[in-house]
């Protein structure tokens, strides 16, 4: 059974990110095997699936998400979350 790679990172609210999307560093996306969708899990309870977009302006320790998505999920700015590729059926 193949183990999914995951990483603990800060989730930041950024107005320039569109609703339903998240931005992360291209090197981190490659490391985690994230291609089109990423999963954000906070405290093992709050989970978001967002369209993944790469951007060199994003620091390697952060994921940027839209304020609307984070508010809907009840996630505070600068929260630590587990970031991974979603599980395939």
Smallest Cα–Cα separation from 62: which of 18, 17, 3? 17
pLDDT digits (tens, 9 = 90+) for 7-36: 999 999 999 999 999 999 999 999 999 989
What's the start-to-end Cα distance of the chain, in Å?
Answer: 13
Smallest Cα–Cα separation from 83: which of 1, 2, 6? 6
pTM of the model: 0.89
What is the gyration radius of the CA atoms in the chain, in angstroms?
Answer: 12
pLDDT digits (tens, 9 = 90+) for 38-79: 999 998 888 999 999 999 999 999 999 999 999 999 999 999
Q: What is the pLDDT of residue 44?
A: 82
Q: What is the pLDDT of residue 88?
A: 67
Q: What is the pLDDT of residue 43?
A: 87
CA distance 1 to 23: 29
Domains of the chain listed by start with CATH number: 6-75 (2.40.40.20)
């Amino acid at each position: 059974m193949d183990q999914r790679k995951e990483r603990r990172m800060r989730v930041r609210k950024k107005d320039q990110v569109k609703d339903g999307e998240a931005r992360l560093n291209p090197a981190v996306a490659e490391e985690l095997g994230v291609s089109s969708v990423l999963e954000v899990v906070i405290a093992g309870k709050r989970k978001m699936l967002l369209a993944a977009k790469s951007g060199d302006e994003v620091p390697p320790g952060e994921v940027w998400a839209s304020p609307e998505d984070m508010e809907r999920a009840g996630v505070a700015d600068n929260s630590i979350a587990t970031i991974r590729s979603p599980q395939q059926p």
